[in-house]
Amino acid sequence: MNSLLIEQIKMIIDDSLPPISNISNILALLFYELDDVNWVGLYACDDQKKECTLGPFQGRVACTRIAYRSGVVGTCADTRQTMLINNVHEFAGHIACDAASQSELVVPLIHADRLLAVLDIDSPTLNHFNTDIKETMEAIAPLLARLLAKQYDL
């Protein structure tokens, strides 16, 4: 687990700022500190509509709506399980928002047993994500979930 990255994220969180400011800075930090990634962002999840909607991100223009059970993002939202995909082209129903993406890591952001969003990270390299990156992002997930809960006044 990358303890330094986790500590950096904790250090940049300023509770006197609107949560979206902190979320945006965390995503920028991840985008520039993680090696070989081409997209880092959030998709807000709506369990009633069974839909994920594009939130703050770093990278190229992205898909704006993804249905639950569609692609890696929608599957993560539906199952509430982290998805580490070594080759997105082998994932049934993959949605190619950026043709350069080859592997993907998506982590659910849950607060008080409510799915608020998913953290989506793409890489242009096959087999890029490993257990260390997965565990680091799962450790960061509660920090982002707490900020989202504050943003939504939950």
- Read off the pLDDT of residues 106-146 as tens digits, 9 standing for 90 and up: 999 999 999 999 999 999 999 999 999 999 999 999 999 99
Work out the average pLDDT over 27-33: 98
- Joined together, the tokens standing for residue 111 give 């607060």
Contact 91, 103 (CB under 8 A): no
Asked whether the whole model's pTM tops 0.75, one would answer yes
CA distance 143 to 4: 15
CA distance 135 to 58: 21
Helix (H, G, I), strand (E, B) or coil at 142: helix
Which whole-number Å values give the CA distances from 105 to 19, 27, 69, 86, in the listed order? Answer: 23, 14, 16, 9
Q: What values do phi and psi take at 21, rounded to 5?
A: -65, -45
Helix (H, G, I), strand (E, B) or coil at 139: helix
CA distance 45 to 116: 5
Looking at the predicted structure, is the pLDDT value of residue 96 above 80? no
CA distance 57 to 66: 15
Work out the average pLDDT over 22-48: 97
Query: Mind listing the pLDDT tens digit for each residue in 47-88?
Result: 999 999 999 999 999 999 999 999 999 999 999 999 999 999
CA distance 96 to 62: 9
Tell me what pLDDT residue 153 has: 86
Tell me what pLDDT residue 88 has: 95
Work out the average pLDDT over 91-110: 90
